[in-house]
């Protein structure tokens, strides 16, 4: 992280306490990336809390949010070209205690990691008649195992470890999107507050991209830093998880990433799950 100075403006960057977000922040943390005239301070909160904070307060200048939440934030924040979380053939996984079909979950309680998460939106699109139950993301496997809910949509590291806990896959939303749509499933975005002005918004985008590039250039060191936030992942699992969600589209979502987001929003709008399709201004 850059050293404090009275002349520097502080920009607060909200991100989840998980390995992929921490990996992307490594360049800022290690002083290998900077935003001119600013110091970057990271704020750690789970993704649903960051979604709510952006929606209700909008006090963080830069923040990770769910792609779902951005549909409600477009007037206050612009999307960054870098930092997007896109699952290419993998994504949030709907799990249960025993093999079952998606149709069998109609009218059943299914855990979600928060109503503004993309995981919740994907579930409602594919299984609109289930009953979503909000559960803290890292408690969802236990809620399923205990019978508190019939199934749950897991995110973050649990995507790699759910089988070890005795859970089985009902549906991987990333697999579905790739097979059905030929697209990555768009999950998260990093966004910048519009009132910073065009020049500083561009500087934020360039600085964050440099932070990710620095992590790639020093992968072992960045991974060691990121695994402090890995919730029990070993080095091999951590490397696999980071490479899943810090992929080429993370440096620049590009046209494919835009198409994936447009598809998500159009589908959600047709289903009546968002009021309008957000205009995608990417910085």
**pLDDT tens digits, one per residue of 22-74:** 999 999 999 999 999 999 998 999 888 999 999 999 999 999 999 999 999 99
Model's pTM, two decimal places?
0.91
Rounded to whole angstroms, how far apart are CA atoms 152 and 69?
A: 20
What domains lie within the chain, and their CATH numbers?
Answer: 9-85+186-270 (3.40.190.10), 93-181 (3.40.190.10)
**8 Å CB contact between 238 and 215:** no
**8 Å CB contact between 92 and 238:** no
DSSP-derived pairing of the beta strands 62-66 and 9-15: parallel
Q: Which residues are catalytic?
A: 156
**pLDDT tens digits, one per residue of 73-122:** 999 999 999 999 999 999 999 999 999 999 999 999 999 999 999 999 99
Per-residue pLDDT, 4 = 47
- Tokens at 254, concatenated: 């590009």
Could you tell me how many residues make up the chain?
283
**pLDDT tens digits, one per residue of 121-134:** 999 999 999 999 99
Per-residue pLDDT, 5 = 47
233's CB contacts (< 8 A; 6+ apart) are: 19, 157, 160, 161, 227, 241
Q: How confident is the model at residue 18 (pLDDT cuts 50, 70, 90)?
A: confident
- Of the candidates 68, 73, 78, 12, which has an alpha carbon nearest to the alpha carbon of residue 45? 12
Per-residue pLDDT, 132 = 97
**pLDDT tens digits, one per residue of 216-251:** 999 999 999 998 876 777 888 889 889 989 999 999
- Strands (E) across 62-122 are located at 62-66, 77-79, 85-87, 93-96, 109-112
Per-residue pLDDT, 6 = 58
Per-residue pLDDT, 159 = 84
Secondary structure letter of residue 277 according to DSSP: P
Q: How confident is the model at residue 278 (pLDDT cuts 50, 70, 90)?
A: confident
Per-residue pLDDT, 86 = 95
């Amino acid at each position: 992280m850059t050293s404090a100075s009275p002349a520097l403006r502080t920009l607060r960057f909200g991100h989840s306490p998980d390995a992929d977000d921490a990996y992307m922040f490594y360049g800022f943390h290690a002083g290998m990336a900077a935003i001119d005239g600013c110091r970057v301070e990271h704020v750690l909160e789970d993704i649903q809390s960051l979604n709510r904070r952006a929606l209700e307060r909008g006090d963080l200048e830069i923040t990770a949010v769910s792609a779902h939440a951005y549909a409600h934030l477009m007037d206050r924040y612009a999307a960054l070209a870098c930092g997007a979380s896109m699952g290419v053939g993998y994504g949030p996984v709907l799990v249960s205690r025993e093999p079952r079909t998606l149709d069998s979950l109609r009218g059943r309680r299914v855990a979600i990691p928060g109503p503004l998460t993309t995981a919740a939106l994907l579930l409602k699109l594919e299984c609109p008649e289930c009953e979503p139950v909000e559960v803290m993301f890292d408690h969802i496997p236990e809620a399923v195992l205990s019978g508190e809910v019939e199934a749950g949509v897991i995110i973050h590291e649990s995507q790699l470890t759910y089988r070890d806990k005795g859970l089985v896959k009902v549906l991987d939303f990333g697999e579905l999107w790739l097979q059905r749509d030929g697209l990555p499933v768009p999950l998260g975005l990093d966004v910048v507050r519009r009132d910073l002005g065009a020049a500083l918004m561009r500087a934020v985008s360039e600085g964050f991209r440099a932070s990710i590039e620095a992590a790639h250039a020093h992968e072992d060191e960045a991974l060691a830093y990121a695994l402090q936030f890995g919730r029990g992942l070993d080095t091999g699992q951590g490397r696999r998880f980071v490479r899943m969600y810090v992929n080429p589209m993370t440096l620049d979502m590009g046209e494919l990433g835009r198409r994936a987001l447009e598809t998500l929003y159009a589908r959600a709008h047709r289903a009546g799950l968002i009021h309008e399709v957000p205009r995608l201004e990417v910085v």
